[in-house]
């Protein structure tokens, strides 16, 4: 579906084209129940988990994600698999025709839909052509929420509007402040609808899940950013008379052992399923199942409204509201799940598992319109009851002492691990074998940790996880030195949005982010009590290792992703040479205070190597030659005095997608994808 003109090959928020296009296609957005997802990070992982869990519970799903990794067709999955090629082809032809023909097949003025609008319409048409038809759609917004092309669903088909963690990104389109960005993303919320909000403050683990008021938004506890996000969310939800679910960010406890030679950190935890919260004006006591919190009230049978709310969140949030608390109805309480299966405790995984499970529980336990004093039938009653039964049968509601069914455990693990490019390990076959592989007679492969982080919150989470992996790795080996190789690509939009300066700054801070501090020895503690500055300064010396980090070599290779990106001809990478120059300057211009901090935290020197590379293939060979031959790679056992080596590909999902296509080609799988 190539762009017809340069004018269409751009990001153009708004519903003025997608709605007429869908009208010509028979309004497929009105056909299916939908879970609609907006946010800055974790949308894809949350959608993948919802997909696998709902499929296990017996529902046939269809899922829309953007951007794709391998090809545009990956954006549409039905029953967990990429949509049938024939269905995709037919849907594409119908969308192209609808762009220039009316429903009667007569030539009509061109709608001039953008590539993304045509892609989403193609997904909806594919759902109508698939047999058997999907029972639930899971739809990820492209950008923002209010004016995103996916925001076309009438209120009565939306099971839940899900808001994943929000951060600063796409400021040029969504707003300069976190409040404005939050309002835009909450544009998917519906009047009298259900809104599930992921944990917005990873540092705060204790949350009052039965009540959400201004007291729970204290910036002294949450920080200014999280407080602004949560207060804006509550204000908009109250104006919409929506019901809120506030998810908790769980903590993971490391379990088992880290296998020798592996970087993978494994944790287990229990998730807390929060109750649905309502404002006093809409809260009514309802008869509920004490075990599940699922309402037992009968639904009325009058027809529901089919209108789409058009008022903006900003205008809604500025109208008169009581600023009263949201609270759980009597009989509704938070439930603790059994211990979940072992997973990597990255911030996206922790958040997504909590949000996905909470969303399903909220849909199952949500009250019908009649229990909330509203007219209209609960057209999703059968679906809710089915989910409530499945939650009980799957062991999710059995409490901390219970156990999940094998099927639920498999769905959770698959939902995380099948979502490629987000904290994934990838083995890349190399055309030139590494020296160790030749000696051992093995096929060479470069192991990469691939994470499509592309904004400040995502990079912060990635670097925290790399630090945790390094700490665990050092605990299982005699090596303390590390060579970290980063293959990085940024989209041109990062410069236009003003995000590039901030992203390069956090890269320059990598020695601090990755530092692994050892507990001080008794001698170090005595030095800390000394009255002399000289003695206190020795605490960070090399003599006994107190407080000292490890030797660290950071190698950054900036590389462009290939263009054009299928379906997104406007996307282009930043010049690697420009990025190399900017990061070198950023490191060279660190303040004296930062240099003192670096010496105090890392103790030993950090060596930098920053270069530009022409393409992905040359970047992989560069990473393999230096990263593998000068350091112990992931998967190899330690040798006394050796260096660890870790290679990470990050910065762009377009670069990650190019990597997966290359691996498919090298492994000969491309022709077998169907």
Q: What is the mean pLDDT of each run of 10 residues along the chain (674 residues)?
A: 41 88 96 95 94 96 92 92 95 94 77 92 96 96 91 96 89 81 94 93 70 84 88 92 89 54 78 87 43 39 36 47 76 88 87 95 88 79 93 93 94 91 87 47 75 89 87 64 92 81 90 63 41 37 37 92 86 94 88 57 73 94 66 45 83 94 79 44
What distance in Å separates the CA atoms of residue 478 and residue 555, rounded to the nearest whole number?
22
State whether residue 267 is helix, strand or coil. strand
E strands of 561-638, at which residues?
Answer: 606-612
pLDDT at 433: 43
Please give the C-alpha separations between residue 626 and each of 545, 589, 643, in angstroms, as whole numbers: 28, 27, 12
Pair 401, 325: CB distance under 8 Å: no
| C-alpha span between 429 and 83 (Å, rounded) | 28
The reported pLDDT for the residue numbered 290 is 39
Phi/psi at 101 (nearest 5 deg)? -125, 145
- Burial state string for 521-532 with b = 16 or more CB within 10 A and e = fewer than 16: eeebeebeeeee
Note the pLDDT of residue 473: 75
Given this model, what pLDDT does residue 533 score? 38
Which whole-number Å values give the CA distances from 337 to 399, 401, 583, in the listed order? 5, 9, 45
CA-to-CA distance for 663 and 666, rounded, in angstroms?
5
Find out whether 64 and 138 touch, Cβ atoms under 8 Å: yes
User: For the chain, first and last CA: distance in Å?
Assistant: 19
What CA–CA distances, in Å, run from 197 to 77, 160, 384?
A: 25, 10, 20
Between CA 125 and CA 26 the distance in angstroms is: 9
Would you state the pLDDT for residue 539?
A: 35
Beta carbons of 557 and 611 less than 8 angstroms apart: yes
What pLDDT does 253 receive?
62
Listed residue (286, 257, 267) closest to 370, CA to CA: 286
Separation between Cα atoms, residue 212 and residue 221, nearest integer Å: 14
The CA-CA-CA angle for residues 300, 306, 308, to 5°, reads 130
- Would you state the pLDDT for residue 592? 55
In a 3-state reduction of DSSP, which class is residue 470?
helix
Q: The tokens 């040798």 sit on which residue?
A: 639
Beta-bridge mates of residue 211? 327
Spatial separation of the C-alpha atoms in residues 257 and 252, rounded to whole Å: 15
Interacting residues of 593 by C-beta distance below 8 A, sequence separation 6+ = none
Q: What angle do CA 265, 644, 262 make, to 5 degrees?
A: 30
Give the C-alpha distances (Å, rounded to integers) separating 142 from 101, 206, 499, 635: 26, 31, 19, 37
**CA triple 101-105-111, angle to 5 deg:** 15
What local confidence, expressed as pLDDT, does residue 393 receive?
Answer: 94
Q: Classify residue 58 by its DSSP letter.
A: T
Class of residue 182 by CB neighbours under 10 A (exposed 0-12, middle 13-18, buried 19+): buried
Q: For residue 113, give Cα distances in angstroms to 96, 127, 372, 534.
A: 9, 20, 39, 69
- Helices within 276-378 (DSSP H only): 313-317, 347-365
* CATH ID of 18-283+308-417, from 3.40.1190.10, 3.40.50.1820, 3.90.190.20, 3.40.640.10: 3.40.1190.10
Question: pTM of the entire structure?
Answer: 0.83
Q: Please name the helix (run of DSSP H) or strand (run of DSSP E) that holds residue 437, with its range, or none.
A: helix 435-440
Residues 6+ apart with CB under 8 A from 358: 196, 245, 247, 271, 273, 274
Q: How many CB atoms lie within 10 A of CB 373?
A: 10
315 phi and psi, to 5 degrees? -70, -35
Q: Which of 286, 249, 281, 252 is nearest to 268 (CA)?
A: 252
Taking only Cα atoms into account, the Rg of the chain, rounded to an integer number of angstroms, comes to 26
Strand 76-78 and strand 61-64: the pairing is: antiparallel
Task: Say if CB 473 and CB 464 are below 8 A apart.
Answer: no
For tokens 């909220």, the residue is: 362
Please name the residue ranges forming H helices in 280-403. Answer: 313-317, 347-365, 381-393
- 65, 357, 35, 305: which is closest to 192 by C-alpha? 305
Q: Are 275 and 293 in contact (CB under 8 A)?
A: yes
Distances (CA, A) of 351 to 121, 416, 456, 467, 630: 29, 11, 17, 19, 36
Q: What is the DSSP string of 122-187?
A: HHHHHHHHSSSPPSEEEEE-SSSSTT-TT----GGGEEEEEE----S--HHHH-SSHHHHHHHHGG
CB neighbour class for 27 (10 Å; exposed up to 12, middle 13-18, buried from 19): middle
CA-to-CA distance for 270 and 253, rounded, in angstroms? Answer: 10
């Amino acid at each position: 579906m190539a762009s017809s003109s340069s004018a269409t090959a751009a990001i153009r928020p708004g519903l003025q084209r997608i709605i007429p296009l869908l009208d010509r296609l028979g309004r497929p957005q009105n056909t299916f129940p939908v879970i609609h997802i907006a946010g800055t990070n974790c949308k894809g992982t949350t959608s993948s988990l919802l997909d696998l869990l709902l499929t296990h519970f017996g529902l046939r799903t269809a899922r829309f994600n953007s951007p794709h990794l391998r090809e545009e067709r990956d954006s549409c999955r039905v029953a967990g698999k990429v949509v049938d090629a024939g269905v995709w082809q037919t849907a594409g032809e119908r969308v192209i025709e609808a762009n220039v023909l009316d429903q009667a097949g007569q030539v009509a003025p061109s709608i001039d839909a953008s590539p993304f609008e045509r892609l989403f319409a193609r997904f909806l048409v594919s759902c109508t052509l698939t047999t058997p038809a999907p029972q639930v759609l899971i739809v990820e917004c492209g950008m923002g929420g209010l004016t995103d092309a996916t925001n076309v669903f009438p209120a009565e088909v939306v099971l839940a509007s899900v808001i994943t963690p929000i951060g600063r990104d796409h400021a040029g389109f969504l707003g300069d402040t976190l409040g404005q960005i939050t309002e835009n993303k909450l544009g998917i919320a519906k009047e009298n609808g259900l809104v599930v909000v992921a944990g917005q403050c990873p540092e705060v683990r204790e949350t009052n899940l039965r009540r959400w008021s201004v007291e729970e938004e204290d910036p002294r506890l949450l920080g200014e950013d999280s407080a602004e996000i949560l207060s804006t969310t509550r204000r908009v939800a109250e104006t919409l008379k929506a019901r809120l679910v506030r998810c908790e960010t769980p903590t993971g406890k490391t379990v088992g052992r880290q296998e020798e030679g592996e970087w993978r950190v494994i944790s287990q935890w229990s998730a807390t399923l929060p109750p649905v919260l309502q404002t006093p004006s809409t809260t009514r006591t309802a008869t509920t199942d004490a075990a599940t919190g699922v309402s037992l009230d009968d639904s009325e049978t009058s027809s529901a409204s089919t209108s789409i709310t058009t008022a903006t969140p900003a205008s809604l949030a500025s109208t008169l509201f009581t600023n009263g608390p949201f609270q759980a109805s009597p009989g509704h309480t938070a439930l603790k799940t059994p211990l979940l299966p072992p997973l990597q405790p990255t911030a996206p995984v922790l958040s997504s598992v909590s949000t996905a499970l909470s969303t399903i529980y909220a849909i199952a336990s949500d009250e019908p319109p009649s229990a909330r004093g509203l007219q209209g039938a609960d057209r999703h009653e059968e679906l809710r009851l089915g989910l409530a039964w499945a939650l009980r049968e799957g062991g999710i509601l059995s409490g901390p002492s219970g156990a999940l069914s094998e099927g639920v455990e498999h769905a959770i693990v698959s939902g995380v691990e099948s979502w490629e490019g987000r904290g994934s390990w990838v083995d890349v076959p190399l055309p030139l074998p590494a020296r160790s592989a030749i000696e051992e007679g093995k096929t060479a492969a470069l192991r990469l940790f691939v994470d499509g982080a592309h904004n400040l919150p995502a990079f912060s989470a990635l670097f925290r996880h790399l630090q945790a992996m390094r700490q665990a790795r050092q605990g299982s080996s005699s090596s303390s030195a590390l060579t970290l190789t980063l293959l990085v690509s940024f989209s041109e939009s990062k410069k236009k949005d003003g995000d590039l300066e901030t992203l390069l700054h956090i890269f320059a801070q990598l020695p601090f982010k990755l530092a692994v501090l050892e507990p001080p020895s008794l001698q170090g503690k005595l030095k800390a009590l000394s009255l002399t500055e000289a003695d206190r300064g020795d605490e960070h010396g090399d003599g006994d290792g107190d407080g000292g980090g490890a030797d660290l070599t950071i190698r950054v290779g900036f590389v462009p992703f290939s263009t054009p990106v299928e379906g997104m001809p406007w996307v282009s990478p930043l010049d690697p040479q420009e990025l190399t120059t900017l990061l070198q300057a950023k490191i060279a211009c660190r303040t004296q205070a930062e240099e003192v901090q670096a010496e105090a935290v890392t103790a030993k020197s950090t060596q930098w190597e920053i270069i530009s590379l022409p393409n992905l293939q040359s970047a992989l060979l560069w990473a393999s030659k230096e990263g593998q031959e000068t350091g112990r790679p992931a998967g190899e056992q330690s040798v006394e005095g050796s260096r660890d080596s870790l290679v990470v590909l990050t910065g762009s999902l377009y670069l990650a997608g190019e990597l997966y296509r290359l691996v498919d080609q090298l492994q000969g799988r491309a022709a077998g994808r169907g």
